[in-house]
Structure 1
């Protein structure tokens, strides 16, 4: 880490200094932000090297290039793909920041505090209290007033470094209070305030797709809204207690390879991540399907000079879908590929689950006027028996397709004989009906 030590190199400027009297103080206070150095930018001179003799300009640039690798750069066509750092206008030399810089949410804010005795007299019991104030909290970062220095000699300094992880947006104020005893025994103090703004480095947006079976597809859109590029070291989703999830951001059969290839995000670039959430267990399925809490995103990144930052989102929520007392789900009875052929009966399984808090006695009936081109074979009504709360029952129905192509299966009704509750199922699923046995979906 490098500290800047002049007003033009990142020193924080105080606001509204307050002091106990109008006499000049014997001690001075300097507060400087600690930050990594940057690469100096240059404007290199590009020229072509020739084998049949160089001009005076080329010879001068060549000699300059030996003493300063950032001054010029000969273009070698045969090695045009061999890029160096100076090809991007950057040198191999470091420089201290010339400004205070940007501070982002999730970063560590480090400061260097220096108390200087600029008077010709030693002072006694010198101590400093450093606090960080936000719009809602006040943190004590360091306090040496309880155990002050016995004596601070003339021209001597007392230095300390403090750091704090930034967890709030908006205006922050660094409050520094210095106490000391003057040579005549008087207790003196002064206080300085340093104000800075904390910005958000990332913008997170979410999109949700709730499926009928309780699964949720969560899409997280991440945009770099900071002033520089960043490297995403970790993008982790932490589901709420009612869900398990599957990360869908890795290349198939290569779980370690991201679909994005690399983790560098330039300013204003956007990355999209996809997660599939499923109910954790059958006992709490109703809770997981009606809860609005999905989970959190835990993001760790590094700046282009390696500074570490971490951001955890608040609880990602949704508008929970309404869960009806009865849920109907279709399933194929036979295993493997299913071929439905025109005017050939086929069997379809129906699973009915009771989500209510009461036991039910269910009856399944067919409404042939709402069935369309796929009719129910056999009896139009059947008893499903007793179904307890949070339990399910299954039955098999035989259908007869009358028209080829994509057809709708529906026209069913489930009724509870105990409460009179009725649920009409106009759409169970869609099937593709083949015209002949030898036809395939791909050829149609």
Structure 2
């Protein structure tokens, strides 16, 4: 159900016409939008089942029984009724132009009325929408004009356009017709309105040492009314695959962690996505690219109007990729328990990100090791490692102090080029005290 309302409640711009003589046709431009529920001021009272007065019986009859039956309220024992929210079954037509938001469809009703006592020939209308950067032709019948418009007759047209730009928009309506004396006449009117942003989107990035990227997207409803988020989807760039971390993970439940899809004005939601390199062979490209992907958001207003917003390409400041990357990994499967004064093994993976072959040696720097010392030989030959390839080895450590401890004090050296990389901290471990 849609209802027209005059668009002239926005800021009009002075019209242009061919002369100062009164025109035979009049133009009315109205915005089409859905009606709203009529808000009522509820009357609160205390019901008395034992002794009901005529006043209480009359107030009870105001309850919206059909809405209560189709949409029961939880905790009905509290006596809460839909009328307590100020809602009614009555609809009302909008009395103002209203807000237009980015991503919504702007619908307008154009009506040309022949108010003269004469028949007007070859009536045509051209509807354009002008923004700060471009101009759209929404409809143009001036080249093939309407044959005739009799006296008191109207020529109506409905136009719909998806709003894809913020700022001031101007609707330009040009009417052409042939007067009874054969003269070709025209006039033009302008209607200005403002397009606002319904959602504020902020992002935060965390680049991990293994190439993964954690993307935090903060979404805030800055519109005047509540909205239903029909879709919140991340579309990664070609170099990444992603995992949506906004779903429940217990009991095979894949529902949203937010519970429902309603977001009220000024409410904020925080979404989290984990991006991983799509192709290991092009790992260097994914680690150095600044393009991550886009957010595609689809919502509906509280009356069901559809809106869609797609962000521009989300970018980052690409991290500097060193020629050598050193990563730890656990040798044993399952949970690892490290006990005081008991050796443990840690895997070391060294990846060559340069364009040249390397002959690598892994050694220790005992002065930088802290309370977790190397057990065994002080150096290991990793052999020749080609570009974009990696080598793995296992090192045994000996913890001397309980609690959270740093593992580090390692050095990787390329015997061919002399390139050296010191690893002061490769990971943190928690050392348990010896059991009695």
TM more than 0.5? yes
Q: 1:290 to 1:255 in 2, by over 3 A?
A: farther
Counterpart residue number, 1:74: none
Counterpart residue number, 1:207: 204
Q: Which of residues 295, 308, 312 is equivalent to 1:297?
A: 295
- Per-residue Cα deviation, 1:127-172 (whole angstroms, up to 9, x for no partner): 0000000001100000111111111000000000000000000000
Give the gaps of 5 or more residues in structure 1. 70-77, 440-444
Q: Map 1:24-39 onto structure 2 (within 5 A).
A: 24-39=22-37
1:159 aligns with 2:156: yes
Q: 1:65 to 1:337 in 2, by over 3 A?
A: closer
Q: Map 1:101-140 onto structure 2 (within 5 A).
A: 101-140=98-137
Alpha-carbon offset, residue 433 of structure 1: 2.7
How many matched pairs? Answer: 428
CA RMSD of aligned residues (A): 2.5
1:316 aligns with 2:300: no
CA distance in 1, matches of 2:365, 2:319: 27
Q: 1:404 to 1:154 in 2, by over 3 A?
A: same
Q: Which of residues 91, 94, 111 is equivalent to 1:94?
A: 91
- Per-residue Cα deviation, 1:423-443 (whole angstroms, up to 9, x for no partner): 01111222233332x47xxxx
Counterpart residue number, 1:194: 191
Give SS of 2:122's match: strand
Give the gaps of 5 or more residues in structure 2. 67-74
Alpha-carbon offset, residue 358 of structure 1: 1.1
Counterpart residue number, 1:233: 230
Alpha-carbon offset, residue 218 of structure 1: 1.0
**Under a length normalisation based on structure 1, what TM-score does the superposition of the two structures give?**
0.90
Alpha-carbon offset, residue 404 of structure 1: 3.0
Give SS of 2:84's match: helix
1:183 aligns with 2:200: no
**Under a length normalisation based on structure 2, what TM-score does the superposition of the two structures give?**
0.92
Counterpart residue number, 1:249: 246
The answer as to whether partners of 1:3 and 1:32 remain within 8 angstroms in 2 is no
- Per-residue Cα deviation, 1:404-425 (whole angstroms, up to 9, x for no partner): 3332221111111111111011
Counterpart residue number, 1:328: 326
Q: Map 1:24-103 onto structure 2 (within 5 A).
A: 24-50=22-48, 61=58, 65=62, 81=78, 83-103=80-100
The answer as to whether partners of 1:85 and 1:92 remain within 8 angstroms in 2 is no
Q: 1:84 to 1:424 in 2, by over 3 A?
A: same
Q: Which of residues 405, 408, 412 is equivalent to 2:406?
A: 408
CA distance in 2, matches of 1:215, 1:79: 49
CA distance in 2, matches of 1:205, 1:179: 48
CA distance in 1, matches of 2:325, 2:206: 18
Counterpart residue number, 1:2: 2
Alpha-carbon offset, residue 338 of structure 1: 2.7
Alpha-carbon offset, residue 289 of structure 1: 1.2
- Per-residue Cα deviation, 1:68-98 (whole angstroms, up to 9, x for no partner): x9xxxxxxxx965464443211221111100
The answer as to whether partners of 2:11 and 2:193 remain within 8 angstroms in 1 is no
CA distance in 2, matches of 1:398, 1:64: 81
CA distance in 2, matches of 1:306, 1:111: 18
Alpha-carbon offset, residue 107 of structure 1: 0.2
Give SS of 1:305's match: coil
Give SS of 1:207's match: strand
CA distance in 2, matches of 1:299, 1:309: 8
Alpha-carbon offset, residue 54 of structure 1: 5.7
CA distance in 1, matches of 2:125, 2:11: 18
Alpha-carbon offset, residue 13 of structure 1: 6.2
Q: 1:419 to 1:4 in 2, by over 3 A?
A: same
